[in-house]
Every structure is written in C-alpha cells, then in structure tokens.
Amino acid sequence: MFIDGAWQEMERRFDITNPADGSVLESIGDGGAEEATQAVEAAHAAFAGWAGTTAYERAAILSRAHKIMLERRDELARTMTLEQGKPLRAATLEVGYGADFLSWFAEEAKRIEGRTIPSARRDQRFLAIRQPVGVVAAITPWNYPVSMITRKVAPALAAGCTVVLKPAEATPLTAVAMMRVFEDAGVPKGVVNLVTCSDPRPVGDVFVNHPKVRKLTFTGSTAVGKMLAGKAAANMKRVSCELGGHAPFLVFEDADPVHAAKGAQLVKFLNTGQACISPNRIFVHRANLEPFVATLTERVAKLKVGSGLDEGVAIGPLVNEAAVEKMSRQVEDARDRGAGVACGGSRLTDGGLDRGHFYAPTVLTDVTPDMLIYREETFGPIAPIIPFEDESEVIAMANDTEYGLAAYIYTRDIARAFRTFEALDFGIIGINDINPTSAAAPFGGMKDSGLGREGSHEGLDEYLETKLGGFAI
C-alpha cells in the first residue's frame, strides 16, 4: 500500500504469478475496505492543499514524472512483461505511450480556463470558473497496466484532484512502480494513493459509497462498469467508464486487400488480442476475400508464440486459464456452425508452453451471425472473417452490437470513407489507420462501451466542475 505518502507493509498478502509459466513473481499487500477508507481520507485531507497549487506547479511535477518514467522505461517494461505477459517490445512501447499522458496533461494544466458571460442586467456580471471535482477513485485494468494509470492520474492531478488508485489484481507490480515514479517526482503526500487487493469488491464498495469520493473512473468489463456506475450514481458521484468493445474492421472492394490484411494482423494480435480496441469482426468484401484471407493467414501463421521476454516473440500468454477456455469455446462453437479454421484453432502446449496460458493465433473463415464469436467480445488471438456484398449491408452488420468503442475502415474512396465514418456508431474510428489513439486525442466509446472520454481536452474536463458567480455591481 502507498497511503498518505508512506509505504505500508501488510500481513495479508497474495501472490502475483507470471502467466507465461505460472511462477510466483512476488507477494504483495492484500488490502480491503479499511485500507481503501484510509486512502480516501488521506486523499481528502490533501485535496485542499493540492487544489490550491498553481497550474504551473502541478505541471512541473507532472513533467518531472514524465522524465522519470522515461528514464525507467526498461525497468517498467520488464515488470509489465513478467506480470502481464505482453512481449517486451510492446511493453516498452506502452511505457512511452503512458508517459505521453504525463507530458500532455502537464501542458493542459495551464489551459484550465473560465469565461465571462454577458448579462441582461446592467448591474450584473457573470463569471464561470473551473475547479477540481475532489477525490478521485481510479480503477485500472490488467491489459494496459501502465498507460491506463497515467491516462487517469495525469488529468486528475493536472485538474487539482487527489487520487486513490486500485490496479487490477493481476498486475499490481507495475502500479507500485508507477507510485514510486510519482513519489520521486515530488507529488505531495496524500495526493496519490495506492490500494492493492486480491478481492476488488470491498475496495470498490468504499469507492462508490464513501461520501468524500466525488469521482469514479473505471476501465474494465462492461458488466462491472455498469454495476459500479449504478452504485456511484445512487450517491451522485461523477463517473467515467471505458468498457468493452467489439470492433468491426471493414475492408471494401476498392481497398488494397494485402495492405488491409497486414493492418488487420497488426492490430488484431496486438497484446495477444487483449485490447478493447482490437478488431473482433473482420468484414471483407467478397471481391477481396481470397487475397485478404491468404495474406492474413500467411502472416498469422508466422507469429512466434512464447514468453514475452524471449527474442522475436509476438504473441504472449493470455491473462489466465479462463481466457484460454473462452478461446476454445468460441472456436469450437464456430467450427460446429460451419466456420473454417485457416490456421491455429487450439491451445499450445509444446516446448514448455503447457506451464502458461497460450492459445494459437487463429484465423476463422466464413463466420456468420449465429456464431458466439460474432456476438461475444473475444479478447484473444482469434481473427473471425465475415464476407459481405455491399456498403449498406456491412454498416448495418457493424452497428449490430451493444458495443461502440472502436471501428476500422479500409477504402480508397474518400466519399465512402466519410459516409462510413459518420454512419458507424463507434467512438473511435481508424480510416486506413490501425492506431487512431494519442494522448492528444479523445478516447472513449458509445452505448455499452462507456461514458466520457480520456485524453485530449475532454479528458481534463472529466475532472473539473464549473462554478458560476453572479456579481451585482
């Protein structure tokens, strides 16, 4: 635990394991409601002082954290690979991406502006100012355990809020490392606090019920997000949630199928498919189907699977055994309903992989709407391909989901690109682009994929209240 500027050892502990081989990496403090309450009280006590600092003072601390984070890039990346499983190169890239949020919001802190508003009365003036919401409870996921911390903590600190962070049970070690970054950057005691736990429920209950928590920010599953948002709403807390996704990937007949297949492979198998913006339904026009499938299959079959620390590995382990079982269930259901398996389609156990949670990178063909994988978020290394005939048909199929986070379009027709961009019910859309994310760009979804935005100017707004003053003169 890191509470009120001090590291606290606990008798209750739980083991953190490496998903590549099942080995125990470390044991860590197992917090609960008591520790969460202490952290909230510490954050509340520190709030007035932190909110009273100037934007330039907060920016300076965030800039120092950015510098320290980059200096520790290799250490942070290795820790992430060990406890989360992603290949070391991908982990290193994530550290850089996460550091970007510290840099961006260090600058945005200086741009928190109010406004004057004309009045109908000659003796009245209106002034609107922006102020921090208060104590923020932040819950981050295991799949991007560094960048999801900075994407929440950086704007909160920039706005003048204090924070209590609960990282995912599977990846607390990277959160500990990030707390040391903030500590060494000079964040005052109580401004950032960390509670680690094996059971998130007691900590979550404190977050949604404690009267001194004024804002909840959560990234994780849609089911848990809905539950937390409902409880927080009952206590009139501000909420932002980034939840599940079921991203469509549309390849039109005028697109280059080889280029599109290369893009699909890169983004689909990013982080072993364990990304909320990962394409889950790949719609390919029948005119491009054969070359697209051939290129994608050839590239996927060459992906090296193994421990993220090994040279050349592109596909690491899944997070746990339940994730492997989910892959098997979706593939078997698709097979039973007539899908073809172009490559992969099974758990991997050879060469010591049986000690970890590995599933072969898989390409499914002839996927249809009656299959489980068509409806259910995959969160793993399976690429399902669905043929289509025309534009209106594929837009309807793409929108036929309760999710609305990310989508991808491949076309050479600028008019079609605009039509499809506007017609798709998703918050983030890449047009011939597999990486439509940045600290400077708003990130978030529609429908069951969440509330609010992270990154960009909108990301700072989530942590600010607007206060109006009416002055009689």
**Residue numbers annotated as active site:** 242, 276
Q: Which of 262, 153, 274 is nearest to 221 (CA)?
A: 274
> DSSP E strands: which ranges in 23-169?
24-29, 115-117, 124-132, 135-139, 162-166
Q: If you ran DSSP here, which 8-state letter would residue 121 be given?
A: S
Cα 315 from Cα 358, distance rounded (Å):
9
Can you tell me the distance from the alpha carbon of 13 to that of 15, in angstroms, rounded to the nearest whole number? 7
For the chain, give the number of residues.
473
The sign of the torsion formed by the CA atoms of 128, 134, 137, 143 equals positive
Amino acid in the structure at residue 455: G
Any idea which residue has 């079921």 for tokens?
Answer: 246
Is residue 445 within 8 A of residue 240, CB to CB? The reply is: no
Q: Which amino acid is at 61?
A: I
Query: Residues near 210 by Cβ (< 8 Å), separated by ≥ 6?
Result: 36, 37, 40
Q: Which string of b and e fits 273-288 if b means at least 16 CB within 10 Å? A: bbbbbbbbbbbbbebb
Please count the other Cβ atoms lying within 10 Å of the Cβ belonging to residue 312: 9
Q: For the chain, how long is the longest CA-to-CA vector?
A: 81
Residue 53 has phi, psi (to 5 degrees) of -75, 160
Cβ 65 vs Cβ 114: under 8 Å: no
Asked if residue 120 lies in contact with residue 146, where contact means CB atoms within 8 angstroms, the answer is: no
CB 239 within 8 A of CB 229: yes
Q: Which two tokens stand for residue 26?
A: 């470390």
Return the residue matching tokens 């260090």: 106
Which residues lie closer than 8 Å to 101 by C-beta, 6 or more apart? 147, 150, 151, 154, 155, 439, 455
Q: Which two tokens stand for residue 441?
A: 């760009």
What does the DSSP assignment read for 66-93? HHHHHHTHHHHHHHHHHHH---HHHHHH
